[in-house]
Amino acid sequence: MPPLDAVLRAVLGCPRCKGPITVHEQEALSEVHCPRCRCAWPVEDGIPRMVPERMSRTAPEREPE
């Protein structure tokens, strides 16, 4: 699976709240996350699928202790 392009990472924002996004890449799964509104979208073939029907919710990120 190709990684998300660095230029694309720099210009993408959350379509819901317009906040910054983060990219989470694991072995077979890539997603873009919005920490502000806790939404996530899959990345397929290096393209984030940021449409409402592909959105899921993420758990709140824990603060380091």
Average pLDDT, the chain: 84
Q: Is residue 34 part of a domain?
A: yes
pLDDT bracket for residue 3 (50, 70, 90): low
| Residues comprising the chain, all counted | 65
Q: Is residue 63 part of a domain?
A: no
Give the pLDDT of residue 1. Answer: 54
For residue 49, the SS3 value is: coil
Number of domains into which the chain is organized: 1
Percent residues over pLDDT 70 in the chain: 86
CATH of residue 40's domain is 2.20.25
Domain around 53? 6-57
- Compute the distance between CA of residue 22 and CA of residue 59 in angstroms, rounded to an integer: 14
| Model confidence, pTM | 0.78
Give the pLDDT of residue 8. Answer: 80
Backbone angles phi, psi at 43, to 5 degrees: -115, 120
